[in-house]
Amino acid sequence: VVHAGSFFEATVGKNEAVRIMTGGAVPEGTDTVVRVEDTDRERTEPGKIAIFSSRDRGRNVRPSGEDWTEGTVVLKMGQSISPRQIAVLAAARASSVPVFKKPTVAVLSSGNELEALSAPSLNPRKIPESNSHLICASVKSAGGIPDDLGIAKDDLHDIGAHIAKGREADILITIGGASMGEGDLFKDCLEQAGFTLDFWRAKMRPGSPVSFGKLTRENRNDQIVFSLPGNPSSAMVTFEILVRPFLLALAGSSQIYRPIITAYSEIALSSPKNLTEFPRVKIEKHDGHLTFVPAGAQGSGLVESLGVANALAIIPEGIDKVSKGATLSLILLHDSPGFYDWS
Residue 81 contacts residue 96 (beta carbons within 8 Å) = no
Q: Calculate mean pLDDT across residues 281-308.
A: 91
Residue 241 CB-half CA count within 13 A: 26
Q: Which of the two residues, 7 and 182, has the higher pLDDT score?
A: 7
Q: Identify whether residues 198 and 287 lie together within a single domain.
A: no
Q: Calculate mean pLDDT across residues 67-84.
A: 92
Q: Identify whether residues 225 and 137 lie together within a single domain.
A: yes
Check residue 202 and give its pLDDT. Answer: 96
The residue out of 250, 269, 295 marking a domain boundary is 250
pLDDT band at 339 (very low <50, low <70, confident <90, very high): low
In a domain, 77, yes or no: no
Question: DSSP 3-state assignment of 76?
Answer: coil
Check residue 179 and give its pLDDT. Answer: 57
In a domain, 96, yes or no: no
In a domain, 295, yes or no: yes
Burial class (CB in 10 A: 0-12, 13-18, 19+), 270: exposed
pLDDT, tens only, 31-68: 999 988 888 887 778 888 888 876 678 889 988 888 99
pTM, to two decimals: 0.84
Check residue 341 and give its pLDDT. Answer: 66
Q: Identify whether residues 196 and 295 lie together within a single domain.
A: no
Q: How many domains does the chain have?
A: 3
- Whether the predicted pLDDT of 180 surpasses 60: no
Report the CATH number at residue 16. Answer: 2.170.190.11
Residue 268 contacts residue 323 (beta carbons within 8 Å) = yes
Report the candidate in 241, 111, 119, 254 with the shortest Cα–Cα distance to residue 184: 111
State how far the Cα of 211 lies from the Cα of 225, in Å rounded to an integer: 8
Report the candidate in 343, 333, 238, 242 with the shortest Cα–Cα distance to residue 295: 333
Q: Identify whether residues 215 and 319 lie together within a single domain.
A: no
Average pLDDT, the chain: 91
Check residue 342 and give its pLDDT. Answer: 60
In a domain, 125, yes or no: yes
In a domain, 336, yes or no: yes
Q: Identify whether residues 292 and 171 lie together within a single domain.
A: no
Q: Which of the two residues, 185 and 141, has the higher pLDDT score?
A: 141
Q: Calculate mean pLDDT across residues 13-26.
A: 91
State how far the Cα of 335 lies from the Cα of 333, in Å rounded to an integer: 6
Q: Calculate mean pLDDT across residues 261-269.
A: 97
Check residue 183 and give its pLDDT. Answer: 52
**Owning domain of residue 287:** 260-342
- Residue 206: asked if its preceding bond is cis (omega within 30°), the reply is yes
Length of the chain: 343
Report the CATH number at residue 215. Answer: 3.40.980.10
Q: Identify whether residues 280 and 239 lie together within a single domain.
A: no
The residue out of 224, 250, 276 marking a domain boundary is 250
Q: Identify whether residues 237 and 286 lie together within a single domain.
A: no
Q: Identify whether residues 192 and 146 lie together within a single domain.
A: yes
Report the CATH number at residue 293. Answer: 2.40.340.10
The residue out of 250, 285, 319 marking a domain boundary is 250
Q: Calculate mean pLDDT across residues 97-104.
A: 96
Check residue 302 and give its pLDDT. Answer: 85
pLDDT, tens only, 146-170: 999 999 998 899 999 999 999 999 9
Q: Identify whether residues 232 and 271 lie together within a single domain.
A: no
Q: Identify whether residues 136 and 59 lie together within a single domain.
A: no
Q: Identify whether residues 235 and 109 lie together within a single domain.
A: yes
Q: Identify whether residues 280 and 157 lie together within a single domain.
A: no
